[in-house]
Amino acid sequence: MLVYLVAVVLLAAALIATSYVLGERHRERSTDEAYESGIPPTGSARLRISAKFYLMAMFFVIFDLGAAFVFAWAIEVRRLGWTGYVGLLIFIATLVSGLLYLSQQGALDWGVPSSRDRSDPK
């Protein structure tokens, strides 16, 4: 294992050194500019994005992985039997209860609040 570690470190060092020696060195103004399909960049890349987009991405990942687990279960359904079926039901119930909780908390509401949703500050 030690020989392998030394070989990997030496190979990585050799690759980095070779890249440094053979690489081009030029600093031109056009090198530092962003290139986007031939279109000159406009504006700033620093945009403020709502946290709701990140929440939606997390929801997608959670339920996408859930679907992957269900597909894996479907492949082995005969071998797993009733124990696997009960386990899948618990898994799906957990996901659905999480989705209902998120919906109840308003995490999935993206629209403009209606007049009945706003409390009257009297």
Structure-block tokens of residue 97? 């209860």
Closest CA to 45 of 54, 37, 36, 56: 36
Kindly state the percentage of the chain with pLDDT values over 70.
81
> pTM for the full model?
0.48
13 within some domain: no
10 within some domain: no
- What b/e string do you get for 29-65 counting C-beta neighbours within 10 Å, with b at 16 or more? eeeeeeeeeeeeeeeeeeeeeeeeeeeeeeeeeeeee
Tell me, what CATH number does 58's domain have? 1.20.58.1610
Higher pLDDT, 45 or 77: 77
pLDDT in tens, 48-88: 777 778 888 888 888 888 889 889 889 988 898 999 999 99
Q: How much helix, strand and coil, in percent to the nearest 5, is found in the chain?
A: 65, 0, 35
12 within some domain: no
| Domain coverage including residue 65 | 51-105
Helices 51-75 and 77-105 cross at an angle (nearest 10°) of 160
73 within some domain: yes
22 within some domain: no
95 within some domain: yes
Of the pLDDT bands very low, low, confident and very high (cuts 50, 70, 90), residue 17 is: very high
